[in-house]
Amino acid sequence: MATVKEYAGAAPAAVASAVPRHQIVAFLAMLGILLVAPFFVYPVFLMKALCFALFACAFNLLIGYVGLLSFGHAAFLGSAGYVSAHAAKVWGLPPEAAILLGTAAAAVLGLVIGALAIRSRGIYFANITLAFAQMVFFSSIQAKFTGGEDGIQAVPRGTLLGVLDLRQPYTMYFVVLAIFLGGFLVVYRAIHSPFGQVLKAIRESEPRAISLGYRAEHYKLLAFVLSATLSGLAGGTKALVFQLASLTDVHWTMSGEVVLMTLLGGLGTVFGPVVGAFIMITLEHSLAQIGSWLTIVQGAIFVVCVLTFRRGVVGELARILRKPL
Protein backbone atom coordinates (compact mmCIF):
# COMPACT_ATOMS: atom_id res chain seq x y z
CA MET A 1 0.00 0.00 0.00
CA ALA A 2 2.67 2.47 -1.01
CA THR A 3 0.10 4.90 -2.37
CA VAL A 4 -1.36 5.52 1.04
CA LYS A 5 1.77 7.37 2.02
CA GLU A 6 0.42 10.34 0.15
CA TYR A 7 -2.27 10.90 2.70
CA ALA A 8 -3.68 14.32 3.41
CA GLY A 9 -3.16 15.33 6.97
CA ALA A 10 0.36 15.68 8.28
CA ALA A 11 0.66 13.46 11.31
CA PRO A 12 1.39 15.54 14.36
CA ALA A 13 4.91 14.88 15.54
CA ALA A 14 3.94 14.53 19.14
CA VAL A 15 0.92 12.73 20.48
CA ALA A 16 -1.79 15.34 20.38
CA SER A 17 -2.86 15.95 23.91
CA ALA A 18 -4.88 19.00 22.93
CA VAL A 19 -7.27 18.78 20.00
CA PRO A 20 -6.37 21.40 17.35
CA ARG A 21 -8.80 24.31 17.31
CA HIS A 22 -9.81 23.99 13.65
CA GLN A 23 -10.87 20.39 14.24
CA ILE A 24 -13.05 21.48 17.13
CA VAL A 25 -14.60 24.11 14.87
CA ALA A 26 -15.17 21.54 12.15
CA PHE A 27 -16.69 19.11 14.63
CA LEU A 28 -19.02 21.73 16.07
CA ALA A 29 -20.07 22.77 12.57
CA MET A 30 -20.88 19.14 11.74
CA LEU A 31 -22.75 18.73 15.01
CA GLY A 32 -24.73 21.92 14.42
CA ILE A 33 -25.73 20.87 10.92
CA LEU A 34 -26.74 17.40 12.07
CA LEU A 35 -28.79 18.79 14.95
CA VAL A 36 -30.97 21.03 12.79
CA ALA A 37 -30.94 18.93 9.61
CA PRO A 38 -33.89 16.64 10.43
CA PHE A 39 -36.20 19.64 10.57
CA PHE A 40 -35.43 20.44 6.94
CA VAL A 41 -34.48 17.12 5.39
CA TYR A 42 -36.31 13.80 5.44
CA PRO A 43 -35.11 12.10 8.68
CA VAL A 44 -34.94 8.53 7.33
CA PHE A 45 -32.61 9.74 4.61
CA LEU A 46 -30.37 11.38 7.21
CA MET A 47 -30.40 8.28 9.38
CA LYS A 48 -29.32 6.18 6.42
CA ALA A 49 -26.51 8.62 5.68
CA LEU A 50 -25.42 8.61 9.33
CA CYS A 51 -25.29 4.80 9.45
CA PHE A 52 -23.15 4.78 6.34
CA ALA A 53 -21.00 7.61 7.68
CA LEU A 54 -20.22 5.51 10.75
CA PHE A 55 -19.55 2.51 8.52
CA ALA A 56 -17.16 4.57 6.39
CA CYS A 57 -15.38 5.98 9.48
CA ALA A 58 -14.83 2.43 10.72
CA PHE A 59 -13.52 1.40 7.33
CA ASN A 60 -11.28 4.47 7.17
CA LEU A 61 -9.68 3.48 10.46
CA LEU A 62 -8.29 0.43 8.69
CA ILE A 63 -7.39 1.77 5.27
CA GLY A 64 -6.50 5.33 6.20
CA TYR A 65 -4.45 4.67 9.31
CA VAL A 66 -3.17 1.11 9.02
CA GLY A 67 -3.06 0.96 5.23
CA LEU A 68 -5.07 -2.26 5.07
CA LEU A 69 -7.59 -2.35 2.22
CA SER A 70 -10.35 -4.66 3.36
CA PHE A 71 -12.73 -5.68 0.61
CA GLY A 72 -15.09 -7.54 2.87
CA HIS A 73 -16.49 -5.01 5.29
CA ALA A 74 -20.04 -5.72 4.15
CA ALA A 75 -19.77 -8.98 6.10
CA PHE A 76 -19.63 -7.04 9.38
CA LEU A 77 -22.31 -4.52 8.46
CA GLY A 78 -24.70 -7.17 7.18
CA SER A 79 -24.22 -9.90 9.76
CA ALA A 80 -24.64 -7.41 12.61
CA GLY A 81 -27.84 -6.28 10.89
CA TYR A 82 -29.12 -9.84 10.77
CA VAL A 83 -28.26 -10.55 14.40
CA SER A 84 -29.82 -7.30 15.63
CA ALA A 85 -32.95 -7.81 13.55
CA HIS A 86 -33.32 -11.40 14.71
CA ALA A 87 -32.75 -10.43 18.34
CA ALA A 88 -35.32 -7.63 18.18
CA LYS A 89 -37.94 -9.54 16.20
CA VAL A 90 -37.72 -13.18 17.27
CA TRP A 91 -36.23 -12.93 20.74
CA GLY A 92 -38.07 -9.70 21.49
CA LEU A 93 -35.02 -7.98 22.96
CA PRO A 94 -35.14 -4.21 23.54
CA PRO A 95 -33.35 -2.14 20.85
CA GLU A 96 -30.25 -1.35 22.92
CA ALA A 97 -29.65 -5.05 23.61
CA ALA A 98 -30.34 -5.95 19.98
CA ILE A 99 -27.83 -3.41 18.66
CA LEU A 100 -25.22 -4.45 21.23
CA LEU A 101 -25.68 -8.10 20.34
CA GLY A 102 -25.28 -7.31 16.63
CA THR A 103 -22.16 -5.27 17.40
CA ALA A 104 -20.73 -8.10 19.50
CA ALA A 105 -21.40 -10.58 16.70
CA ALA A 106 -19.51 -8.35 14.27
CA ALA A 107 -16.64 -8.09 16.76
CA VAL A 108 -16.35 -11.87 17.03
CA LEU A 109 -16.57 -12.24 13.27
CA GLY A 110 -13.92 -9.52 12.97
CA LEU A 111 -11.64 -11.38 15.36
CA VAL A 112 -11.94 -14.63 13.40
CA ILE A 113 -11.56 -13.09 9.95
CA GLY A 114 -8.96 -10.59 11.11
CA ALA A 115 -6.76 -13.20 12.79
CA LEU A 116 -6.46 -15.04 9.49
CA ALA A 117 -6.45 -12.08 7.13
CA ILE A 118 -3.77 -9.86 8.68
CA ARG A 119 -1.12 -12.50 8.01
CA SER A 120 -1.15 -11.36 4.42
CA ARG A 121 -0.87 -7.88 2.97
CA GLY A 122 -1.72 -5.77 -0.06
CA ILE A 123 -3.80 -7.42 -2.73
CA TYR A 124 -3.76 -10.74 -0.86
CA PHE A 125 -5.28 -9.15 2.19
CA ALA A 126 -8.03 -7.62 0.05
CA ASN A 127 -8.69 -10.99 -1.59
CA ILE A 128 -8.87 -12.93 1.65
CA THR A 129 -11.30 -10.46 3.22
CA LEU A 130 -13.39 -10.63 0.04
CA ALA A 131 -13.40 -14.41 0.20
CA PHE A 132 -14.59 -14.38 3.80
CA ALA A 133 -17.26 -11.82 2.98
CA GLN A 134 -18.53 -14.04 0.17
CA MET A 135 -18.74 -16.94 2.62
CA VAL A 136 -20.83 -14.78 4.92
CA PHE A 137 -22.98 -13.79 1.93
CA PHE A 138 -23.70 -17.36 0.89
CA SER A 139 -24.36 -18.43 4.46
CA SER A 140 -26.87 -15.57 4.66
CA ILE A 141 -28.66 -16.87 1.57
CA GLN A 142 -28.82 -20.40 2.90
CA ALA A 143 -29.36 -19.89 6.62
CA LYS A 144 -32.93 -20.20 7.82
CA PHE A 145 -32.96 -17.27 10.21
CA THR A 146 -31.85 -14.68 7.64
CA GLY A 147 -34.86 -15.31 5.41
CA GLY A 148 -32.74 -15.54 2.22
CA GLU A 149 -33.95 -13.15 -0.47
CA ASP A 150 -36.83 -11.97 1.72
CA GLY A 151 -34.57 -10.79 4.52
CA ILE A 152 -35.83 -10.23 8.04
CA GLN A 153 -38.80 -7.92 7.68
CA ALA A 154 -40.96 -5.92 10.05
CA VAL A 155 -38.32 -5.61 12.77
CA PRO A 156 -39.85 -3.72 15.70
CA ARG A 157 -37.97 -0.58 16.70
CA GLY A 158 -39.20 -0.83 20.28
CA THR A 159 -38.46 1.58 23.10
CA LEU A 160 -34.87 2.41 23.97
CA LEU A 161 -34.03 1.76 27.64
CA GLY A 162 -37.76 1.51 28.22
CA VAL A 163 -38.30 5.27 27.83
CA LEU A 164 -37.59 6.48 24.29
CA ASP A 165 -40.22 5.40 21.78
CA LEU A 166 -38.20 4.78 18.63
CA ARG A 167 -41.26 4.68 16.41
CA GLN A 168 -41.19 8.47 16.49
CA PRO A 169 -38.97 9.56 13.59
CA TYR A 170 -37.25 12.37 15.52
CA THR A 171 -36.52 10.20 18.54
CA MET A 172 -35.05 7.56 16.27
CA TYR A 173 -33.02 10.22 14.49
CA PHE A 174 -31.40 11.60 17.62
CA VAL A 175 -30.63 8.12 18.89
CA VAL A 176 -28.93 7.32 15.58
CA LEU A 177 -27.09 10.65 15.77
CA ALA A 178 -25.86 9.81 19.28
CA ILE A 179 -24.69 6.38 18.14
CA PHE A 180 -22.92 7.94 15.17
CA LEU A 181 -21.20 10.59 17.30
CA GLY A 182 -20.15 7.93 19.81
CA GLY A 183 -18.59 5.83 17.06
CA PHE A 184 -17.02 8.88 15.43
CA LEU A 185 -15.37 9.96 18.69
CA VAL A 186 -14.09 6.44 19.34
CA VAL A 187 -12.40 6.48 15.94
CA TYR A 188 -11.05 9.98 16.60
CA ARG A 189 -9.70 8.99 19.97
CA ALA A 190 -8.14 5.81 18.56
CA ILE A 191 -6.22 7.57 15.80
CA HIS A 192 -5.02 10.35 18.05
CA SER A 193 -3.79 8.06 20.80
CA PRO A 194 -0.40 6.38 21.16
CA PHE A 195 -2.12 3.35 19.71
CA GLY A 196 -2.98 5.38 16.62
CA GLN A 197 0.62 6.58 16.35
CA VAL A 198 1.81 2.99 16.27
CA LEU A 199 -0.78 2.17 13.59
CA LYS A 200 0.54 5.02 11.45
CA ALA A 201 4.09 3.84 12.04
CA ILE A 202 3.09 0.39 10.82
CA ARG A 203 1.45 1.94 7.79
CA GLU A 204 4.62 3.85 6.91
CA SER A 205 6.98 0.95 7.44
CA GLU A 206 6.06 -2.27 9.13
CA PRO A 207 9.62 -3.66 9.44
CA ARG A 208 10.76 -0.45 11.12
CA ALA A 209 7.86 -0.57 13.60
CA ILE A 210 8.73 -4.17 14.40
CA SER A 211 12.40 -3.32 14.82
CA LEU A 212 11.36 -0.62 17.31
CA GLY A 213 9.81 -3.36 19.37
CA TYR A 214 6.13 -3.06 18.46
CA ARG A 215 4.23 -6.29 17.82
CA ALA A 216 2.72 -5.18 14.55
CA GLU A 217 0.42 -8.19 14.22
CA HIS A 218 -1.29 -7.39 17.52
CA TYR A 219 -1.84 -3.77 16.60
CA LYS A 220 -3.20 -4.68 13.19
CA LEU A 221 -5.57 -7.26 14.65
CA LEU A 222 -6.80 -4.83 17.28
CA ALA A 223 -7.45 -2.18 14.62
CA PHE A 224 -9.24 -4.75 12.46
CA VAL A 225 -11.50 -5.86 15.29
CA LEU A 226 -12.24 -2.25 16.25
CA SER A 227 -13.15 -1.47 12.66
CA ALA A 228 -15.35 -4.56 12.39
CA THR A 229 -17.07 -3.74 15.67
CA LEU A 230 -17.93 -0.19 14.62
CA SER A 231 -19.14 -1.47 11.24
CA GLY A 232 -21.36 -3.85 13.19
CA LEU A 233 -22.68 -0.97 15.27
CA ALA A 234 -23.61 0.80 12.03
CA GLY A 235 -25.24 -2.36 10.64
CA GLY A 236 -27.29 -3.09 13.77
CA THR A 237 -28.52 0.50 13.91
CA LYS A 238 -29.38 0.45 10.21
CA ALA A 239 -31.46 -2.70 10.66
CA LEU A 240 -33.56 -0.96 13.28
CA VAL A 241 -33.91 2.24 11.25
CA PHE A 242 -35.22 0.41 8.19
CA GLN A 243 -36.82 -2.37 10.23
CA LEU A 244 -35.23 -4.72 7.76
CA ALA A 245 -32.08 -6.77 7.37
CA SER A 246 -31.46 -7.88 3.82
CA LEU A 247 -28.90 -9.41 1.48
CA THR A 248 -27.95 -5.99 0.11
CA ASP A 249 -25.93 -5.29 3.24
CA VAL A 250 -23.79 -8.43 2.96
CA HIS A 251 -23.36 -8.26 -0.81
CA TRP A 252 -19.86 -7.49 -2.10
CA THR A 253 -21.08 -4.32 -3.80
CA MET A 254 -21.59 -2.90 -0.31
CA SER A 255 -17.90 -3.53 0.43
CA GLY A 256 -17.10 -1.65 -2.76
CA GLU A 257 -19.42 1.20 -1.91
CA VAL A 258 -17.71 1.89 1.39
CA VAL A 259 -14.33 2.03 -0.37
CA LEU A 260 -15.80 4.59 -2.74
CA MET A 261 -17.29 6.65 0.09
CA THR A 262 -14.01 6.79 1.94
CA LEU A 263 -12.00 7.56 -1.16
CA LEU A 264 -14.39 10.27 -2.30
CA GLY A 265 -14.41 11.96 1.10
CA GLY A 266 -10.70 11.63 1.74
CA LEU A 267 -8.63 8.64 2.78
CA GLY A 268 -7.00 9.05 6.16
CA THR A 269 -8.88 12.20 7.11
CA VAL A 270 -11.13 12.47 10.14
CA PHE A 271 -14.13 14.03 8.44
CA GLY A 272 -13.60 12.61 4.96
CA PRO A 273 -15.63 9.40 5.35
CA VAL A 274 -18.57 11.36 6.75
CA VAL A 275 -18.57 13.76 3.81
CA GLY A 276 -18.05 10.89 1.37
CA ALA A 277 -20.95 8.92 2.83
CA PHE A 278 -23.28 11.91 2.62
CA ILE A 279 -22.28 12.58 -1.00
CA MET A 280 -22.83 8.96 -2.01
CA ILE A 281 -26.15 8.57 -0.23
CA THR A 282 -27.39 11.87 -1.66
CA LEU A 283 -26.42 10.65 -5.12
CA GLU A 284 -28.18 7.33 -4.63
CA HIS A 285 -31.19 9.14 -3.33
CA SER A 286 -31.50 11.72 -6.07
CA LEU A 287 -30.61 9.32 -8.86
CA ALA A 288 -32.87 6.51 -7.64
CA GLN A 289 -34.98 7.03 -10.76
CA ILE A 290 -32.33 5.68 -13.09
CA GLY A 291 -32.25 2.32 -11.28
CA SER A 292 -29.33 0.09 -12.09
CA TRP A 293 -27.61 2.82 -14.13
CA LEU A 294 -26.56 4.22 -10.78
CA THR A 295 -23.64 1.78 -10.71
CA ILE A 296 -22.29 3.33 -13.90
CA VAL A 297 -22.56 6.84 -12.46
CA GLN A 298 -20.75 5.68 -9.33
CA GLY A 299 -18.04 4.09 -11.46
CA ALA A 300 -17.58 7.32 -13.40
CA ILE A 301 -17.30 9.29 -10.16
CA PHE A 302 -14.69 6.86 -8.92
CA VAL A 303 -12.62 7.34 -12.06
CA VAL A 304 -12.90 11.14 -11.91
CA CYS A 305 -11.99 11.14 -8.23
CA VAL A 306 -8.90 9.02 -8.72
CA LEU A 307 -7.75 10.99 -11.77
CA THR A 308 -8.36 14.54 -10.60
CA PHE A 309 -8.52 14.78 -6.83
CA ARG A 310 -6.87 11.78 -5.30
CA ARG A 311 -7.02 13.14 -1.78
CA GLY A 312 -10.81 13.26 -1.82
CA VAL A 313 -13.04 16.22 -1.02
CA VAL A 314 -11.88 16.75 2.56
CA GLY A 315 -8.30 15.83 1.73
CA GLU A 316 -8.13 18.53 -0.94
CA LEU A 317 -9.73 21.02 1.42
CA ALA A 318 -7.17 20.16 4.08
CA ARG A 319 -4.38 20.71 1.56
CA ILE A 320 -5.73 24.15 0.64
CA LEU A 321 -6.14 25.12 4.29
CA ARG A 322 -2.84 23.45 5.17
CA LYS A 323 -4.48 21.89 8.18
CA PRO A 324 -5.37 18.26 8.82
CA LEU A 325 -9.14 17.77 8.91
Partner 1 sequence: MIILRILVLGVALLLATGPAQAQISDGVVKIGIMNDQSGTYADLAGPGSVVAARMAVEDYGAARKGLKVEIVVADHQNKPDVGSSIARQWFDADKVDVIIDVPTSSVVLAVNQIAREKNKALIVSTGATSDLTGAACSPNAIHWTYDTWSLANGTGSAIVKTGGETWFFLTADYKFGHDLERDTEAVVVKNGGKVLGKVRHPFPTADFSSFLLQAQASKAKIIGLANAGADTTNAIKQGAEFGIVRGGQQFAGLLVFLTDVHSLGLEKAQGLLLTESFYWDLNDQTRAFSKRFAERHRGAMPTMAQAGVYSAVLHYLKSVEALKSDDGPKVIAKMKELPTDDPVFGKGRVRPDGRKIHPVYLFEVKKPSESKGPWDYYKVRATIPAEQAFRPMDQGGCPLVKK
**Does 135 interact with partner 1 (rule: CB under 8 A)?**
no
CB of 168 to partner 1, least distance (A): 12
**Does 308 interact with partner 1 (rule: CB under 8 A)?**
no
CB of 74 to partner 1, least distance (A): 13
**Does 169 interact with partner 1 (rule: CB under 8 A)?**
yes
**Does 73 interact with partner 1 (rule: CB under 8 A)?**
no
Q: Applying CB under 8 A, which of residues 38, 72, 151, 256 lies at the interface with partner 1? A: 151
Q: Applying CB under 8 A, which of residues 28, 35, 90, 141 lies at the interface with partner 1? A: 141
Q: Applying CB under 8 A, which of residues 79, 229, 237, 246 lies at the interface with partner 1? A: 246
**Which residues are 245's β-sheet partners?**
152
Residue spans of alpha helices (H) in the chain: 21-36, 43-65, 74-89, 95-117, 122-142, 169-191, 194-204, 206-211, 216-242, 252-265, 272-286, 294-308, 312-321
Own/partner contacts of 143-152, CB < 8 Å, gap of 24 or more, are: 145/82, 145/86, 145/90, 146/82, 146/245, 146/247, 148/247, 149/247, 151/244, 151/245, 151/246, 151/247, 152/82, 152/85, 152/86, 152/89, 152/239, 152/244, 152/245, 152/246
CB of 136 to partner 1, least distance (A): 16
**Does 144 interact with partner 1 (rule: CB under 8 A)?**
no
State the Cα–Cα distance between residues 91 and 98, nearest whole angstrom.
9
Q: Which is nearer to partner 1, 254 or 274 (CB)?
A: 254
Q: Which stretch binds partner 1 (CB under 8 A): 181-189, 199-207, 242-250, 313-321?
A: 242-250
Angle between helix 74-89 and helix 252-265 axes, rounded to 10 deg: 120
CB of 162 to partner 1, least distance (A): 21
Question: What dihedral do alpha carbons 239, 108, 225, 44 form, nearest 10°?
Answer: 0
Q: Which is nearer to partner 1, 211 or 292 (CB)?
A: 292
**Does 257 interact with partner 1 (rule: CB under 8 A)?**
no
By three-state DSSP, how is residue 17 classified? coil
Q: Which residues contact 22 (CB under 8 A, 6 or more apart)?
A: 321, 323, 325
Q: Which is nearer to partner 1, 76 or 224 (CB)?
A: 76
Site string for partner 1, 15-44 (x = CB under 8 A): ---------------------------x-x
State the Cα–Cα distance between residues 255 and 126, nearest whole angstrom.
11
**Does 114 interact with partner 1 (rule: CB under 8 A)?**
no
**Does 237 interact with partner 1 (rule: CB under 8 A)?**
no
CB of 94 to partner 1, least distance (A): 19
Q: Which is nearer to partner 1, 173 or 188 (CB)?
A: 173
